[in-house]
Chains A and B, each alone.
Chain A
Amino acid sequence: MSKKALLEVNNLKQYFPIKGGLFGGTVNHVKAVDDISFVVYEGETVSVVGESGCGKSTTGRAILRLDDPTSGDILFDGENLLGLNKAKMRKKRKDLQIIFQDPYASLNPRQTVRQILEEALEIQNVVSRKERRQKVEDLLQTVGIGAHQMDRYPHEFSGGQRQRIGIARALSVDPKLVICDEAVSALDVSIQAQVLNLLKELQQKFQLTYLFISHDLGVVRHISDRIIVMYLGKIVEIGDKDSLFENPQHPYTRALLSAIPSINVGEKKKERIILKGDVPSPIDPPAGCRFHTRCPYAMDRCAVEEPKLHSLSEVEHKAACHLLEDGPYDYS
């Protein structure tokens, strides 16, 4: 199977100005996303993980052009989204949808489920007026909500059901790429499992491509084909799911994975790597390797020289660390 790139992000930077000073000018920048590049192939799920504030949501928002990126290219189906004018971008949104963490905040409380979905269909002009009702019924059935519930308001549904409505709305316009930003994070474990299964089922049925943003590495391992690990606005490791989980190479990824509490009682626990201190501010991120202030392996050069992404294997596993210059590092 030859892989076709659906989304290509090249050297994306998103700096947010900080206003201040005597004249209210820009005194500094939050370097939320700082020169990242990656590809998402058609039909796959790529997850973005990392700690709060590392730039996951900003990346998703930049792709949808909800913010205007500082620099870089975002190629979607070969077309540079950053070159489109507002009207063209609005049309393009039909192909790129987003599902948020809090379904409640993203659904209009004054509209019934039917109105919410009909409005989405109308804006993108997907089907004729006559067909709309049927399409709404079909959509709700796809996500497991009965047609008899279609005239209810969002508050009359449970959290998991509301997330299903959010999914139905995203799917209503037949998108190609769906960005899921913490889409299951607010749900109870038992409901989360239902929604994850639904997302997988819909992916197969409609050949969807997912960019899945999450801080839950269990969820990520379940849903992804490939994984991007970010730290302070940079990609530190990227690879297919199995090599990343079974053979993490960046010291940060290793610490992150070892920090997750496991439900394996009794079995011998893997050594936990406890990191010192907090994540530094993205306003003045550390020079050199951004992780050097917390890295147990930091060397002198790490404070001055930024590491490149080094290729580690044939399966596109890469990590940005000086230890990996000559290939995988022996951590044992």
Chain B
Amino acid sequence: MTISNQENILEVRNLCTSFFTDEGEVKAVDGVDFSIEKGKTIGIVGESGSGKSITSLSIMRLVQEPAGKVVDGEIVFKGENLLTKTKKEMRDIRGNKISMIFQEPMTSLNPTLTCGEQIAESLRIHQKLNRKEARVKAIEMLKLVGIPSPEKRVKQYPFELSGGMRQRVMIAIALACNPELLIADEPTTALDVTIQAQILELIKKLQEELGTSLMIITHDLGVVAEMCDRVAVMYCGKVVEYADVKTIFTDPKHPYTIGLLNSVPRHDLKVEGELSVIKGSVPSPFELPSGCRFVTRCPHAREICHRELPALETKEDGNQVRCWIHTDQWEKQAEAVSTHE
């Protein structure tokens, strides 16, 4: 049975998505839980390969089958489990109620259609607008995302636009049907910072006007700090910490989150000496350690960490962390020498 909190637009529960390769099963997403409150923004951060993109593709039901498959869990959108929807029902939801912006606009825009046609297409399918209405709305959308002389731009093809302009067109398409949830996977990573600042400001403004809920995937912790209300930190297919943005940046709990923040070189502070680092590197998905996934790199690891996977525990303030240190177990554990490679 599905009990869901009315305040939440999306609840992801125990999501497991795997790829079945020649070398074996890759558990790309391995029991992920989080929820997004209506109108809020959550950020997903984590090491490359930790499962951020696959989480979002799973929500959109866009994981490439048969190599990849959602093998367990629930994705509850406005009280309904998306995993039980038919292909046709999903097509109605995608681009209409849930939209997605990808990192590289060139790969997700159709090169053979003009910008106007791409926006109009989505409006005609989902909102049943006629050709003329869709065209007018397309121009309106381009204006909304800050594209100068939109009457001229609707007739242009993606290759005729700069990277920043293409990203704006993507946003226009994604927002054309006024979706309730917008998923943005590295929306500004390919852009220069001055253009990124324009786009982030635009997304914020549109979100305020339209009340859209937002999920942003990024490796840029600065973007997270500025845009998000809550942050999920992923490591090897699991959420290791999920907390409000202030806690993540001022009082992080998980050793990975702490290590990650400490290793960011700062442009806004005068810091001398070495950067602090997380030693080692992410284990291969075929050689995941038993117990805590971070154990091979964690400076605090004790014996129990090697043996048993800690659960994602919820604290009184609603924040969550997956680490033995933050359990009653920890003090009972004799300090054991960690066995790093």
Q: Are A158 and B277 in contact (CB under 8 A)?
A: no
Residue B222 at the chain A interface, CB threshold 8 Å: yes
Return chain B residues, CB-CB under 8 Å to A259: 193-194, 196-197
Stretch at the interface among B78-86, B88-96, B256-264, B306-314: B256-264
Q: A252: nearest residue on chain B (CB-CB)?
A: B194
How big is the A interface, by class?
35 or more
Chain B 206-244 near chain A by CB (<8 Å), digits 1 or 0: 000000000000011111111000000000000000000
Q: Max chain A CB contacts within 10 Å: which of B192, B195, B274? A: B192
Report the separation of the CA atoms of residues A261 and B47 in the bound assembly, to the nearest whole angstrom.
19
Stretch at the interface among B107-115, B122-130, B179-187, B265-273: B265-273
- Work out how many contacts link A and B, with CB atoms closer than 8 A: 126
Q: A196-B275, A265-B245 are in contact. Are A256 and B194 (CB under 8 A)?
A: yes
Report the separation of the CA atoms of residues A278 and B194 in the bound assembly, to the nearest whole angstrom.
9
Residue B26 at the chain A interface, CB threshold 8 Å: no
Hey, which bits of chain B sit against chain A, CB under 8 A?
47-48, 148, 162-165, 192-198, 200-201, 219-226, 245-246, 249-250, 259-261, 263-268, 270-271, 274-279, 281-282
Stretch at the interface among A15-23, A83-91, A167-175, A218-226: A218-226
Return chain A residues, CB-CB under 8 Å to B192: 51-52, 215, 279
Task: Tell me the smallest distance from the CB of B45 to a CB of chain A, in Å.
Answer: 9
Q: Are B275 and A197 in contact (CB under 8 A)?
A: yes
Chain A 261-301 near chain B by CB (<8 Å), digits 1 or 0: 11111100000101101110000000000000000000000
Q: Are A221 and B265 in contact (CB under 8 A)?
A: yes
Report the separation of the CA atoms of residues A31 and B102 in the bound assembly, to the nearest whole angstrom.
32
Report the separation of the CA atoms of residues A120 and B172 in the bound assembly, to the nearest whole angstrom.
50
* Residue in A219, A261, A279 whose CB lies within 8 Å of B222: A261
Q: Can you report 12 A-B residue pairs in the complex whose CB atoms are below 8 A from each other?
A: A158-B281, A159-B48, A194-B279, A196-B265, A196-B275, A218-B264, A246-B270, A257-B267, A264-B249, A266-B249, A275-B194, A278-B195
Report the separation of the CA atoms of residues A13 and B195 in the bound assembly, to the nearest whole angstrom.
27
Report the separation of the CA atoms of residues A197 and B263 in the bound assembly, to the nearest whole angstrom.
11
Residue A134 at the chain B interface, CB threshold 8 Å: no
Report the separation of the CA atoms of residues A321 and B278 in the bound assembly, to the nearest whole angstrom.
42
Which residues of A (191-218) have their CB < 8 Å from a CB of B? Answer: 191-194, 196-197, 200, 215-218
